[in-house]
Structure 1
């Protein structure tokens, strides 16, 4: 439902007028209406909660961000000035971005694309990188807080990784058979994480896909529980949205509903949803969870996850901890070590891959044996004892990535061993200074946003942080902030996830803070924020949420299909009515 997602983004970012939104909604098939309503409900709920939690004490004075439809001639003049400045600073990057479109297919180039800002939104072309910095082909230097989507814990191309890769290249990199790095890397990985066995894959998406396959093979059950707001890669087997009845819906064009039917999408942290897992335990092979969601790092439901762990142990359900982002970031044992909640399986990538394309699955021997049948002795009668699930890949044990992985893990172990703290989490101590720097930076900026009364916060966990725009999360002001940061020498991530690394100096962090503050001050000076009485809008949003919440729960109940259809028709009329109310009162959502 990529087309629906595009329209949804345009609705919530006010890129299309209300009449057009109403017309589009009326023409949708029922399933797509359901999907759109579910996403709209989530958007409204998230906005209300964020505003209530962070700006309630100054509600009557809360500034609002200008939407694309509200841009006036002064705004457009400022955007034009910025476009001219950026084109002057990075002409080669703009030219290369245009040339790349002909043959290179890239979804990310359209992420957040706004018609009014198009001239500002071309991707930079980097010529080199080093430590905390990126350099473009026009000679500009940037402090990098994208960190290659969280890969570079030690910054770009640290010497110990470059040396390891160079030595392996000199020896060659045979893809079939073993190299000496393989046994060393897997042993060290298990030692640092506490998992019994480990498997290398070709990507993070593939690691999650295979972990799900292991869970189904081990339990002989089909259903997988995932949670709203989590991201587990691009496999059809783990991508689904939830409609207002709790049913799973395929998320994009080309994706098959039958895959979504095998997923149960729940709300992360909602204790009431545990009853669904308990009631359907005979169907559920695994619960797949980002313990701290990369898209919602403030949501850290420790007690909820402990209850999930208890329930999965009782019901013969595998708990799969997706630590693609958090693994080796908060500690070597990730959130599992921090919260003392161990998964049966866990997926990794990013940091321990050393910048090379890779993923990892680690876990209990009894489950990992479903990949290779288990261990045996070459000198006796023993043979693999477990029936295997099909898994393969040409680059799963590519020696170049193994060399990088071994170098990263060796460096982590070396830094850990210098710690005087001998607690169970001694392997995390060298990371705590970085995590504390991240916290202090984010708190200073959040205090600044609050003082300025702008609808913006930074959510963070360990060295991960995200800018969250409360009233217009996909709007022009969000994109303008990032463009201004780029113009002033700080490069952010198209995905929204930002990171501090061990390569960032205190001076770099001060520069990041200064650039963010300068960008907000500039937009305030140019009147991209305005004072608005939001009470009426909040009341209308609450009416919609209350209306939707009165609809009965009909999760995956075929006997209730006719009732559900009636309810969907009522819901359609209610949504149209509410959208009309927005139009009549000149309120935007």
Structure 2
């Protein structure tokens, strides 16, 4: 046992030395995932399917692909390269969208998509809902000055406190800023340094939360460019385990805060109610600040967020996404003794009262931006009028999606699972297979805006027809991948579609040219994806 401990410590020490190097196998959060591993050997059936699909998809989304190539020299953006591997190189580009409304998106080629990503959770009412756009337009007309205090700031803060049960609220630009401010508050109030967080949680993009834990309870940066010294006051533990509770109890008196993502967006099926209550009890006894990161769960799962769902009141909570109504915003809300650290606490005119609490630094040029405040007020008032049924009805869509698709996956033996919490859902590949990412390519081809590895969300704008369209797209995509040998299992037998009459006046995709195939039959041809000036036949029955 002693030798094992020495090996663990030695491995951890090796990881702590020198700069962090990029490793796609340890890719953290939304970092670009780039694999340069050699192409996998494909069977002839797989190769034919992939070539045909690539030609079809490239022709359908040629404007998006062209945009990625033309802008690559100037635009540095991880979204354009994430998911790269040599086998799928010709498919690695994001859809370029120039219009949205409700549950739908339209790309630069005129293709229409059902949005499953929905702004990574920031879209709750569909894209460009009238009540939000009208509020923002009114504010544009009135002006969007920066610097002066705006009357909407107090109105939004009061609404946030009403929803969440917090005493006070502070406004900023993003969820990452809110989390950063919450940690600073905790250290200011407690005078302690160490913050405990949990493996698998996502708390934003600043250095201190882009970390991984080690078996010897050391903390290492999770991405290149983050220095080891920047993360040594963070303790990373497994989420929801008895062993973690014991470690926290042994160190409780030295912790400034324990911060949770109550239901981790990358693990939505794990909902540790008892653990969250145990942490509440522990922090109350130790004087540590209990922080709920509700940037994703806040206002989406319940008007009062995950705290209301699990019956736990945190000391401080962070919000973003839904509360902004589609505009960038971050919110810190919490109990008075903690929030007072931002402005010195309560005082009033006409007497000898003064700010009595020592303050920490919290500021920003675009904090309290009038356009974001206008959208936030409209979103909060809309949710207040609708009541909890708004969240319940949206969550019911994810319930139906998960139950229907999981039954289908079981029926056909596909190693896939939909896991969800409220209206958040995520697709998991449950076996070690090489080409699971192709599923998301096929879904995009079938008009679903979705990315591999990211959680998805329902909104109030998603109709029953939208839900059925999503289910059908999944079922058809899985069937195609099983038929082509990319997914194990037995494809569901479907009735062959009726032959499509050839229409020489209607190109099946933009840019298709009319010609004849080697047998002399009329056919549509599209530009070859990699050979300039060459055209290839596009199947009419795709």
Q: Which digits, 9 at most, give the CA deviation of each residue in 1:226-269, with x for residues without a partner? A: 10100000111222101232321111111011122111111111
Question: Displacement, 1:362?
Answer: 0.3
Unaligned ranges ≥5, structure 1: 1-26, 44-66, 417-427, 533-589
Identify the structure with bigger relative contact order (alpha carbons < 8 Å, sequence gap 6+): 1
Q: Indicate if the aligned counterparts of 2:196 and 2:257 stay in contact, CA closer than 8 A.
A: yes
Q: Indicate if the aligned counterparts of 1:111 and 1:494 stay in contact, CA closer than 8 A.
A: no
After TM superposition, list the pairs within 5 Å mapping 1:26-425 onto structure 2: 30-31=14-15, 69-416=40-387
Equivalent of residue 496 in structure 1, options 440, 454, 466: 454
- CA 1:140/1:232 → structure 2, altered by over 3 Å: closer, same or farther? same
Q: Specify the alignment match of 1:538 in structure 2.
A: none
d(CA) in 1 for partners of 2:262, 2:43: 43
Report the TM-score when normalising by structure 2: 0.83
Q: Which digits, 9 at most, give the CA deviation of each residue in 1:44-94, with x for residues without a partner? A: xxxxxxxxxxxxxxxxxxxxxxx9624233322211111111121111111
Report the TM-score when normalising by structure 1: 0.76
d(CA) in 2 for partners of 1:260, 1:408: 36
- CA 1:446/1:505 → structure 2, altered by over 3 Å: closer, same or farther? same
Question: Displacement, 1:384?
Answer: 1.0
Q: Specify the alignment match of 1:478 in structure 2.
A: 436
Q: Specify the alignment match of 2:471 in structure 1.
A: 513
Of residues 375-384 and 296-305 in structure 1, the stretch that sits farther from structure 2 once superposed is 375-384
Q: Specify the alignment match of 1:527 in structure 2.
A: 485
d(CA) in 2 for partners of 1:40, 1:274: 28
Question: Displacement, 1:41?
Answer: 11
State the number of aligned residues: 469
- CA 1:129/1:253 → structure 2, altered by over 3 Å: closer, same or farther? same
d(CA) in 1 for partners of 2:273, 2:487: 37
d(CA) in 1 for partners of 2:165, 2:252: 28
Question: Displacement, 1:494?
Answer: 5.2
d(CA) in 1 for partners of 2:169, 2:12: 46
- CA 1:105/1:29 → structure 2, altered by over 3 Å: closer, same or farther? farther
CA RMSD of aligned residues (A): 2.4
Q: Indicate if the aligned counterparts of 2:197 and 2:236 stay in contact, CA closer than 8 A.
A: yes
d(CA) in 1 for partners of 2:461, 2:123: 9
Secondary structure of the structure 2 residue equivalent to 1:233: coil
d(CA) in 2 for partners of 1:71, 1:203: 44
Q: Specify the alignment match of 2:411 in structure 1.
A: 451
d(CA) in 2 for partners of 1:125, 1:69: 29
Of residues 450-459 and 156-165 in structure 1, the stretch that sits farther from structure 2 once superposed is 450-459
Which consecutive aligned stretches of 4+ in structure 1 deviate over 3 angstroms post-superposition? 32-36, 38-43
Unaligned ranges ≥5, structure 2: 1-10, 29-37, 491-542
